[in-house]
Structure 1
């Protein structure tokens, strides 16, 4: 019996260890499969742990145990894909799943091309039913393989213009799948986008959201490290790993699971393929051991032994915004998944997320260097989960990845995260500087969008920030010694009807270019800059016992924390010669509310005249920066209790981030 699920290293360890194999059997009623005669069981490797008599278990796989007399003639997963059950469920989805149908708002771009699998040529179509392919290109495709270019595209439009002999094997196998499924048109980017035509490439990439959303189904070549690898079980046989053994009156069959840590399982690690899966409504995956179909309603496999599953909303990568969530929460979720993947070219950081980004935030100019303008203040609050690298500005192949954008961390195997705290509003204006600004006179704040919305109860928290002197010249006449929170809320709402009207008065909407440092206005070539006028403070940091850092004031009191593991900074902090009393510059970004996790948090909370405490502790989101001439660059994100931030010696400064 072959057990699938362990990596090669784990199998080797099991073989070398003195362990027992344990079968954890479920009753028929608890089995994943339908039918009372079917048992399921998990296989575990049981190890002795240490000298204290402890026991450890390592999961090894699953099996099905059936009564031979009642076993149907269901086929096992073999060398070739078994299409019967897959096509039944796929056709059911086509016919009955309204949530999986093509969205009416999707439109294909001008010059949209598909492969006519019957005539083996490229055709231009403004509207048609088609299948799309998601696959891994590989690092060095053979130049002899077919690719659309300005020189070759006309020949590819002739009947037979796409000969099998020169076709990348993965695309050739996808053509065979289309024939098997009765689909005439296939979209594959290598042949349907003119690779050396900058305008065509830009138009097609910017329409990627509509292309994958419009596809009838997306074929996912989820195994293989290049377009020459092919699709297992289609053009060539895949390794047979499902077997049955008859023992007495029972038939025992192993359940197919994907092997962990397989070096050829590269599709799930590539940045470009992430949005291709997210944007599609139906996906048919091909791994090296099995094929399975996923739509908006369920997941089903080609064999009867893997139970059909409903979509898991907790871990779902679907594009839709949950009813109890926001557009920004969906953006942050996808950004976390996307930045955990790799890109061959870092210049693709924005492009490979473009379809998802523009599906959530529509309109021209909706993004600045990867950050949504309408939620710009919130979007600035990203941080690398592990902090394994120094954040640096990159300019490559015409793309700018500034340190204030998550794109500067893309491709570094360090996923970007956002803190799970409420967002109450900005404490600083932000001005986008591009090129020569010397003659523009003034720049309008980019974070003054009328559709920006903070979280509930932002008024009371922002009123307290005003009282603590965090909002410049704006004032509000109240005191918590005599007023309760309800009175403060009513006073705030009387003066400002909504967040937009408050922000227009609280932060300067424009900045004169003459106020910027001299080097900024004369550097015409510098792109991707943002400027702010905000409170700054010099503070120290000290390593926490196990990860990250505390932020401390001049008296040595803990007043906040850096976000994420901050591994690179910890590495520097424990190196010989590091100055533990070094001060770093922090700038105030915005106001948030944190859950009360301990008594320490409670001590930093605010109480009104009636003895009521806020539900969330007000915190100031801060950015640790380092200066280099006229410019500053981001070092780390952190937060400080508002109560402590208000007591610091602060200074209003104009900062330009690059």
Structure 2
């Protein structure tokens, strides 16, 4: 029973008690009590036609009215229930009420039906309908138009559901209770999600960087280090208009660091940041991290380092506060301003709360603006404990999901779910996300795991296209010590030849470079927004148990154009090789004469008869088993040893924005066959068009991305360059193909030249023998 619904005595003497509910509403409340008692009754073991069970009695209940509209209007001043019914009818049928007198309205009726309930049981719930005489009679269908479903605040033992009425402002006491319950009851199950310590950013001196936090009591920026940072809340939100609020800059940094500096007349805090400060203070934390104030926005020398540490900032936060709708200029509903609340019918012993998608468990985070934005991807990805606010507040951690207006029996997850790779489930990964629609962060250099992150991220939107790499820098920053050599334009250098083999799954929009921002290269996925086809990014190149359907061989020695500082402090451009790729350790350890193993690695002979009969040169596999630390790759088999625990091996963090490649490539000219494609093409589509030689023989194909251009004319001549070799294992070919074992192809790029620089137009494949007949020789190109 909700204590707020109890009659309130206005005087110590019972003789002065004033009834707050009319006779009709009291009778309706009694009838609901009878129905709820019926719901709790167990079904009889032996069915009888003469004595119906509780379920049959509920189904056979006829609709019964609460009261007519005229009665509601007449009693709304003295009866709390009639007043709430009147308000409900006015909100729902304002136009009808305005055009009719209350006496002509049918007003409100109630029926009981079995409705689907989250997650799997079905529990009777109340259906209320407000309307006029001409509206069809009440129905027990959940999907009937004009019907509202209401949940009673009386808990049901059938499902343990408890719905609560919430007010126009957030109840901070409930927020504090969530934080306390998680801290006390969940223990290590809700430990902060982060990569193993051995794979962290130790050695880059990043832990000694100045780390700014907002002190919400002294209202200034406090200085700490990442290693010694006190518990803090991190805000995940969407920026508003930068001109409407103050950001931290070199010129105002001293002001913001002084006590009370954030309350200075020269500092204008965005409404959402002001409300986040209130939230942090009210739920019992002293420090808040907000990117606009805790990163010096015009300290360009160090800003890139801070952006690469965003994953660490959110992973190490005691709590992430995520604002799912609106932007920084709008404030937080329920904190800075009143919020909309659900329709509530007030009865003497209970309330009836209008159901929402949240209550029924059907709400999806993918529908929220926050889930569509690029910058919030890494923030949600690394958060281990998150409190989200849309119109209502929710708590999410590895052990629980709680909602402000509804509670369900706790369901504890005693072991964090394992990462599922693109090909093979059950591989150990680091738990990172509290949301089911987020991928997981790989715990080893899994190309498939990285592909899942990029596919999820690349469909999100950015206000500035030029932020495509910056907004995911926190992800790659956390993965730098897993992938030798780091990343170039979002492509892992260790898998560089394979990473170039991305394709559009649906039309991709070319991102626009902003003036003065580093250019996004046509050969990188980061230059294109939309759904990517990353099937080539398979873990089969590394993981022994995954079928190696095709083998990638390197044929181009790529170089990247880097800006380097000389001893005199000047900056100059220098071509540097992309050298350490997986082909090197793979080739070394495929040689059976190589028996000396790196530390903690062990070689094993594959006794699979099929493998041996097939003459597979990789007939041995390798396992990693350190003695002095936790093994995050236990029971996994690899094709070759790799250096998972050598911190920062060859990591080149300055190559992140490299935008030019140079290499000697084979070149050929072939024509497109677009006559065999469906005609006419649908707008905004991708198509695989055949490549033909001078004899009109089909020897390959290209994946065309037709987002903003017409289909090329039949016979269009394409300048193609080969970028890697593909050798097919016929054991894994589709049954309807005639590919022979060991068949070879070249992955090719269709390029378009602009001056001295070539740009990618499409990726495809050409049979190796046919390519070598058409090849016009080898040239050196610069790919931009």
TM-score greater than 0.5 by the shorter chain: yes
Structure 1 residues 329 and 453: alpha-carbon distance in aligned structure 2, compared to 1, 3 A threshold: farther
- Is the alpha carbon distance of 1:485 and 1:589 closer, same or farther for their aligned partners in structure 2, counting shifts above 3 Å? farther
- Structure 1 residue 639, shift from structure 2 partner: 3.1
Q: 1:606 aligns with which of 723, 735, 740?
A: 740
Q: How big is the shift at 1:337?
A: 2.2
Task: Name the residue aligned to 2:660.
Answer: 529
Please tell me whether residue 317 in structure 1 is matched to residue 438 in structure 2.
Answer: yes
Q: Counterpart in 2 of 1:268?
A: 371
SS in structure 1 opposite 2:306? helix
| TM-superposed deviation, 1:134 | 1.2
Give yes or no for the alignment of 1:550 onto 2:689: yes
Following the alignment from structure 1 to structure 2, what is the Cα–Cα distance between the partners of residues 302 and 351?
Answer: 34
| In 1: Cα distance, 2:519 partner to 2:671 partner | 31
Instruction: Establish whether residue 254 from structure 1 lines up as the match of residue 341 from structure 2.
Output: no
- Whether 1:360 and 2:487 are equivalent positions in the alignment is no
Q: How far is 1:169 from its partner?
A: 0.9
The structural deviation recorded for 1:584 is 0.8
* Unpaired stretches in structure 2, ≥5 consecutive residues: 1-84, 89-110, 130-142, 421-435, 542-550, 565-571, 592-610, 621-637, 643-656
SS in 2 for 1:534: strand
Preserved CA contact (<8 Å) 1:536 1:588: yes
Distance 2:151 2:772 in 1: 67
Question: Relative to 1, partners in 2 of residues 1:630 and 1:87: Cα closer, same or farther, differing over 3 Å?
Answer: same
Cα 1:458–1:565 shift into 2, 3 Å: farther
* Alpha-carbon distance between aligned partners in 1 of 2:575 and 2:640, rounded to the nearest angstrom: 21
**Tell me, what secondary structure is at the counterpart of 2:221?**
strand
Structure 2 CA distance for partners of 1:86 and 1:169, relative to 1, 3 Å: same
Distance 1:113 1:294 in 2: 26
Tell me the SS of whatever aligns to 2:519.
Answer: strand
Q: Measured at CA, do residues 265 and 421 of structure 1 come closer, stay the same or move farther in structure 2, by a change above 3 Å?
A: closer
| CA drift at 1:233 | 1.5
Given the superposition, is the C-alpha separation of residues 280 and 594 from structure 1 closer, same or farther in structure 2, using an over 3 Å criterion?
A: farther
Partner residue in 2 for 1:628: 754
CA contact (8 A) 1:86 1:300 kept: no
Contact 1:223 1:264 in 2 (8 A): no
Which residue is 2:388 aligned to?
285
Compute the displacement of 1:178 (Å).
0.9
**Residue in 1 aligned with 2:461?**
342
| 1:59 positional shift | 11
Pick one of 95, 106, 122 that aligns with 2:221. 122
Structure 1 partner of 2:715 = 581
The answer on whether the counterparts of 1:275 and 1:356 sit within 8 Å (CA) in structure 2 is: yes
Tell me the SS of whatever aligns to 2:672: strand
Q: 2:532 aligns with which of 416, 428, 431?
A: 416
Instruction: Work out the CA distance in 2 between the residues paired with 1:631 and 1:491.
Output: 40
Alpha-carbon displacement from aligned partner over 1:296-344 (angstroms, at most 9, x marks no partner):
344332222689788997754254328xx96222222221222222333
Provide the C-alpha distance between the structure 2 equivalents of 1:262 and 1:24, rounded to a whole number of angstroms: 29
In the TM superposition, what whole-angstrom CA distance separates every residue of 1:405-446 from its partner, at most 9, and x where no partner exists? 22222xxx4243312575522332232242799xx9x96641
Q: 1:581 to 1:436 in 2, by over 3 A?
A: same
Q: Deviations over 1:454-476 (max 9, x none)?
A: 79x999xxxxxxxxxxxxxxxxx
Unaligned runs of 5+ in 1: 3-21, 44-56, 460-483, 502-525, 574-578, 608-613
User: Could you tell me which residue of structure 2 aligns to residue 80 of structure 1?
Assistant: 169
Q: TM-score, normalised by structure 2?
A: 0.59
CA separation of 1:490 and 1:112: change in aligned 2, threshold 3 A: closer
Tell me what 2:54 maps to: none
Q: How many residues align?
A: 544
Taking a change above 3 Å as real, the CA distance of residues 69 and 219 of structure 1, as seen in their structure-2 partners, is: closer
Alignment partners' CA distance in 2, 1:305 and 1:94 = 18
Cα deviation 1:466-489 (Å, max 9, x = unaligned): xxxxxxxxxxxxxxxxxx984643
CA-CA distance at 1:215 after TM superposition: 0.7
Identify the residue that residue 306 of structure 2 maps to in structure 1: 204
Residues 1:444 and 1:565: Cα distance change in structure 2 (over 3 Å): closer
Q: CA deviation at 1:355?
A: 0.9
TM-score, length-normalised on structure 1? 0.69
After superposition, what is the alpha-carbon deviation per residue over 1:234-266, rounded to whole angstroms, capped at 9, x for unaligned?
A: 111111235458899995731244999999954
**Corresponding residue number in structure 2 for 1:177:** 279
Tell me by how many angstroms 1:188 deviates: 0.8
CA distance in 2, matches of 1:40, 1:533: 73
C-alpha change, 1:58 and 1:154, in structure 2 (3 Å) is farther
- Give runs of aligned pairs for residues 39-78 of structure 1, distance below 5 A: 63=149, 65=151, 74-78=163-167
The alpha-carbon deviation at position 597 of structure 1 amounts to 7.9
The answer (yes or no) to whether the contact 1:366–1:372 under 8 Å persists in 2 is yes
Deviation at 1:295, TM superposition (A): 2.4
Distance 1:654 1:449 in 2: 21
Contact 1:385/1:415 (8 A) holds in 2: yes
**Aligned partners of 1:407, 1:61: CA distance in 2, in Å?**
47
**Counterpart-to-counterpart distance in 2, 1:391 and 1:120:** 39
Distance verdict in 2 for CA 1:650–1:487, change over 3 Å:
farther
Partner of residue 113 from structure 1, selected from 212, 235, 242 = 212
Q: CA deviation at 1:269?
A: 3.0
* Aligned-partner Cα distance in 1 for 2:746–2:532: 20
CA contact (8 A) 1:121 1:159 kept: yes
CA distance in 2, matches of 1:307, 1:652: 67
Output aligned runs, 1:195-594, within 5 Å. Answer: 195-225=297-327, 227-241=328-342, 243=344, 253-257=354-358, 266-287=369-390, 289-304=391-406, 316-321=437-442, 327-362=446-481, 366-389=486-509, 394=513, 396-409=515-528, 413-419=529-535, 422=538, 424-434=551-561, 445-449=577-581, 486=613, 488-490=615-617, 528-543=659-674, 544-545=677-678, 547-554=686-693, 555-563=695-703, 566-569=706-709, 571-573=710-712, 579-592=713-726
Q: 1:291 to 1:387 in 2, by over 3 A?
A: same
Counterpart CA distance in 1 for 2:145 and 2:450 is: 34
Q: Residues 26 and 39 of structure 1 are in contact (CA less than 8 Å); yes or no, is this contact kept in structure 2?
A: yes
Offset at 1:397?
2.1
Matched, 1:657 2:783: yes
Q: Rg larger in 1 or in 2?
A: 2
What is residue 637 of structure 1 aligned with on the other side? 763
User: Does the C-alpha gap of structure 1 residues 582 and 296 become closer, same or farther in structure 2, counting only changes over 3 Å?
Assistant: same
Partner of 2:65: none
**Cα deviations by residue, 1:195-224 (Å, 9 ceiling, x for unpaired):** 222234234223222211111111111211
Q: Quick check: 2:590–2:618 contact (8 Å CA) kept in 1?
A: no
Name which of structure 1's ranges 364-373 and 175-184 shifts more when overlaid on structure 2.
Answer: 364-373
> Take 1:444 and 1:196, find their aligned partners in 2: how far apart are those partners?
29
Which residue in 1 is equivalent to 2:262?
A: 162
Residue 284 of structure 1: CA displacement?
1.3
Deviates more, 1:642-651 or 1:550-559: 642-651
Distance (whole Å) between structure 2 residues aligned to residue 247 and residue 622 of structure 1: 74
SS at 1:434 equivalent: strand
The answer on whether the counterparts of 1:83 and 1:302 sit within 8 Å (CA) in structure 2 is: no
Instruction: Work out the CA distance in 2 between the residues paired with 1:330 and 1:444.
Output: 28
CA gap 1:154/1:564 in 2 versus in 1, 3 angstroms: same
User: What CA distance in whole angstroms lies between the structure 2 residues aligned with 1:213 and 1:492?
Assistant: 40
In 2 relative to 1, CA 58–152 (structure 1 residues): closer, same or farther, beyond 3 Å?
farther
Per-residue CA deviations over 1:343-380 (Å, capped at 9, x if unaligned) read 33333222221110121232895122222111111211
Q: Is the 8 A contact 1:218 1:283 kept in 2?
A: yes
